[in-house]
Chain A
Amino acid sequence: DSGVTQTPKHLITATGQRVTLRCSPRSGDLSVYWYQQSLDQGLQFLIQYYNGEERAKGNILERFSAQQFPDLHSELNLSSLELGDSALYFCASSIGTGGLYEQYFGPGTRLTVT
């Protein structure tokens, strides 16, 4: 158990809908990262927040957005869902920012868009 929690574990929804994925980092960690894992794209970095501020952006679609709240939990919002958005979404956390700090991954949210 990494100490990172994600809810829900599974989510099934229809195309065009909007969903919110939630992540609570390990106690004391200030950085939260979001990743998408799919069969065709592999593991891709989406976005990072550090202490409430956006820190780095990866291959995140405009339909997707995220934020980190004062209590450091983070939410990833996915809207106008398409079949291709079906994937495993991971959140990770670390104490600091940058590659010196190990990232600890949560259990993931499996999103299925039908």
Chain B
Amino acid sequence: ELKVEQNPLFLSMQEGKNYTIYCNYSTTSDRLYWYRQDPGKSLESLFVLLSNGAVKQEGRLMASLDTKARLSTLHITAAVHDLSATYFCAVDGWNEKLTFGTGTRLTIIP
């Protein structure tokens, strides 16, 4: 059974700082997604990573995928308050099911 672990679960950081969220998964896959969820809202797709070494950037967020290490990272650069949300990674385990991580609740403090 595919397991997806994120850490940290909670992250409180100051505006302007950099930080990284980690997503580890237990079986071979080269299809990984990052989503953002605001409280009480739906999931918004951030990044789609479909190969080893894939790196994508959008604004202050950058995601990468290392399929050999079974690891994806979501890096936040110079955090701003608007980035406060819960971030999920999700892995496609070749059985057409997405398995989601536990989520990282990010709070940016002014």
Interface-forming stretch among A16-24, A70-78, A101-109? Answer: A101-109
Interface size on A, residues (CB 8 A): 23
Shortest distance from the beta carbon of A33 to any chain B beta carbon, whole Å = 8
- Chain B: interface residue count, which band? 20 to 34
B residues contacting A by CB (< 8 A) are: 29, 31, 33, 35, 41-45, 48, 50, 88, 90, 92, 94-100, 102-103
- A43 contacts B100, C-beta separation under 8 Å: yes
Shortest distance from the beta carbon of A38 to any chain B beta carbon, whole Å = 12
Give the residue of B31, B42, B95, B99 whose beta carbon is less than 8 angstroms from that of A105.
B42
Shortest distance from the beta carbon of B70 to any chain A beta carbon, whole Å = 15
- B45 contacts A99, C-beta separation under 8 Å: no
A-B contacts, 8 of them at CB < 8 A, read: A43-B90, A43-B100, A48-B96, A48-B97, A56-B96, A99-B29, A105-B44, A107-B42
Given the complex, which residues of B lie within 8 Å of A97, measured CB to CB?
96
Residue with the highest number of chain A CB atoms closer than 10 Å, among B43, B45, B92:
B43
